Amino acid sequence: MSAVPLVSIVDVRKSFGDFHALRGVSLDVQAGEVLCIIGASGSGKTTLLRCVNQLVRPDAGAIWVDGDLTGYRLGEGRLYPLSEREIARQRLHTGMVFQRFNLFAHMTALENIIEGPVRVQGRRRAEAVEEARALLARVGLADKERSFPANLSGGQQQRVAIARALAMRPKLMLFDEPTSALDPELVGEVLAAMKELARSGMTMIVVTHELGFAREVADRVVFMDGGAIVESGTAEEVLGNPREARTRAFLNAVLS
Ligand SMILES: Nc1ncnc2c1ncn2[C@@H]1O[C@H](COP(=O)(O)OP(=O)(O)OP(=O)(O)O)[C@@H](O)[C@H]1O
């Protein structure tokens, strides 16, 4: 019998006006799995990721994260939609790293990292500081705790953003093209931090154009097109020997 997935996405649909961004997407992610989502611009990758932590509410379908039906709570045998506040609380189990780093400009790297644990989770400041220092060391920025975002490179800011997400002790990490806003020479350092995280056993869903990263780290690669999953398999299968013509066309376009 296979294990219960940490994330279960069942027939999720989402439209923006007449545009069908997701046309019935189903996907399971096991605990500890690293899933990379690839696909052309507009294929629905970001929308799917945002549905997982409810920054976007699906029109139909269901998403479970660690046993919780996201956006709902069970009471007296019925499902009740959660309020925005309750959704925010549910979202705390899921860390997200965006294209843009969105650090608080008036706070140092360390203060950015402890903000969530102290203010939102009510953890003791001393404990949060100790953990933040360990996280900064983990992403290679032990010497930058007093730096403000304006004095950090894009790659360093993104690594602080990863540390900040991890400080909330998430069960799941979502990455939305975390290196696409970076200068090329800064991409490697962020991917290195993500690789270390992947190897530590974190469950990760990564929307990425970095096929080398996917090849090296992904347990599974999913190719999306037109709001649907076209192909799913190991990196070797999907990137090395794709079955579907649409996957081949996409790979030919990005690799040429
Ligand atoms: N909030 C929104 N309002 C209206 N349309 C939206 C919204 N979000 C997404 N869309 C539409 O849905 C389409 C799919 O978007 P999505 O960002 O999920 O694709 P993507 O595969 O992640 O592309 P990209 O790589 O460009 O981010 C977009 O092209 C856009 O037209």
Which residue is closest in CA terms to ligand 1's atom 13?
42
Ligand 1 nearest atom to the CA of residue 56, by list position: 1
**Residue ID of nearest Cα to ligand 1 atom 3:** 16
Residues 208-213 have a mean pLDDT of 94
- The reported pLDDT for the residue numbered 75 is 82
| pLDDT tens profile 24-38 | 999 999 999 999 999
> Which pLDDT band, with edges at 50, 70 and 90, does 219 fall under?
very high
pLDDT of residue 86: 86
**Pocket lining: 39 vs ligand 1, CB cutoff 6 Å:** yes
Please give the distance, rounded to the nearest whole angstrom, from the Cα atom of residue 253 to the centre of ligand 1: 20
Q: Would you say 32 and 23 are in contact if contact means Cβ atoms under 8 Å apart?
A: no
Distance 44 CA to ligand 1 centre (A): 6
Mean pLDDT value across residues 28-50: 96
Provide the pLDDT confidence category of residue 74 given band limits of 50, 70 and 90.
Answer: confident
Amino acid at 4: V
pLDDT, greater one: 201 or 90: 201
Taking residue 248's Cβ as centre, other Cβ atoms within 10 Å add up to 14
Q: What distance in angstroms lies between residue 168's CA and the mean position of ligand 1's atoms? A: 27
Binding site membership of 47 for ligand 1 (Cβ less than 6 Å) = yes
Rounded Cα gap, residues 89 and 86, in angstroms: 5
Q: Could you give the residue ranges of the DSSP H alpha helices within 36-121?
A: 45-52, 84-91, 109-115
Instruction: Output the CA 4–ligand 1 centroid distance in Å.
Output: 30
| Long-range contacts of residues 47-50, Cβ cutoff 8 Å, at least 24 apart | 47/14, 47/21, 47/22, 47/227, 48/9, 48/12, 48/22, 48/224, 49/96, 49/174, 49/176, 49/205, 49/207, 50/176
Planar angle of CA 213, 218, 219, nearest 5 degrees: 165
Distance (Å) from CA 51 to ligand 1 centroid: 12
Specify the pLDDT at position 2.
Answer: 61
Q: Is residue 256 in contact with ligand 1, taking CB distance under 6 Å?
A: no
Binned at pLDDT 50, 70 and 90, residue 4 comes out as confident
Rounded CA separation 148/151 (Å): 6
pLDDT in the model for residue 19:
96
pLDDT digits (tens, 9 = 90+) for 76-130: 888 888 888 888 888 888 999 999 888 999 999 999 999 999 999 999 999 999 9
Q: Is 80 in the pocket of ligand 1 (CB under 6 A)?
A: no
Mean pLDDT, the chain, integer? 94
Mean pLDDT to the nearest integer, 57-84: 88
Pocket of ligand 1 contains residue 208 by CB under 6 Å: no
